[in-house]
Amino acid sequence: MESLYVIKIGGNIVDNPALLTTCLQAFAQVKGQAILVHGGGKMATSMAQSMGVEQTMVEGRRITDEATLKIVTMVYAGYINKNIVAQLQALGVPAMGLSGADGNLIQAHKRKHASIDYGFVGDIDTVNTDLLLQLLSTNTKLVVAPITHDGKGQLLNTNADTIAQSLATALATKYNVHLIYGFEKEGVLKDINDPSSVIARMDKPIYGTLKDQKLIFEGMIPKIDNAYEALDNGVQSVIIGKAEKMNELINGTAGTTITK
């Protein structure tokens, strides 16, 4: 089977033009099919603050009220998505930007939780695999914003890490899928204050121990949970590491490789 790389980059990357350029140059060189999923948290938070809209995060997840939903839709599916697409076109890459609402790509439902009201946060129900296969068959590289919909006209803010995992899983029977999470750290660290303490390979027992000892910070937990969800559903490999080293991450020579 042909290889497919599903690569996720976070808000700290899209907010930094130099880092974004480095990542997009690496993405442009991927041989075979590729999907780029982006966040944009810091830009959305900054805009929310400038508009006086208070932001609340719980375990790395954004509480999304109605005002915040408008902001993240504008930032994620608007400026960030189209800026990335334009830069890829400049690199000679045929790219198409999508949100989960476009082409019914990703349907979700409003999150239900016993004690926390996450607002307009979506948990994924379905991925339109047929649409993805059709677009990938034209050698178009896809750029996906983390906005989904519920099929009834309601937009939902959905975690970009989860979207990357869901797209990777949906295509795992059609491609050899490699899932890469690029962010600001060198990988999963034993000591958050020591960049050299990268765990090169991490299995479930190591993860459980580090989580119990509270040595993994909140924003990393959803990433690793998504990594295991992907591996359990046919994805070939998952790597978490520094987005600036995207070429090495793609080659498997940097970051943390997550294993069962």
CATH number at residue 113: 3.40.1160.10
| E strand map for the chain | 3-9, 33-38, 57-58, 61-62, 95-98, 106-110, 122-127, 141-144, 147-149, 155-157, 176-183, 201-202, 237-242, 256-258
Give domain status of residue 12, yes or no: yes
Q: What is the domain count for the chain?
A: 1
Q: List the chain pLDDT tens, one digit each, 260 residues.
A: 999 999 999 888 998 999 999 999 999 999 889 999 998 868 888 899 999 998 888 876 779 999 999 999 999 999 999 999 999 999 999 999 999 999 999 999 999 988 889 999 999 999 999 999 999 999 999 999 999 999 999 999 998 989 999 999 999 999 999 999 998 889 998 887 888 889 999 998 989 888 888 888 767 888 898 899 999 999 999 999 999 999 999 999 999 999 88
What tokens appear for 114 in the block? 């016993």
Give domain status of residue 259, yes or no: no
Q: Which domain holds residue 13?
A: 3-184+238-250
The pLDDT value recorded for residue 41 is 67
Give domain status of residue 221, yes or no: no
The pLDDT value recorded for residue 189 is 87
The dihedral over CA atoms of 144, 146, 152, 153, expressed in degrees to the nearest 10, equals -90
Give domain status of residue 122, yes or no: yes
The pLDDT value recorded for residue 60 is 63
Give domain status of residue 214, yes or no: no
Give domain status of residue 55, yes or no: yes
The pLDDT value recorded for residue 29 is 94
The pLDDT value recorded for residue 31 is 87
Sequence letter at residue 113: H
- Name the one residue in this structure whose structure tokens are 């750029």: 143
Q: Measuring CA to CA, which residue among 236, 197, 237, 235 is closest to residue 216?
A: 197
The pLDDT value recorded for residue 214 is 83
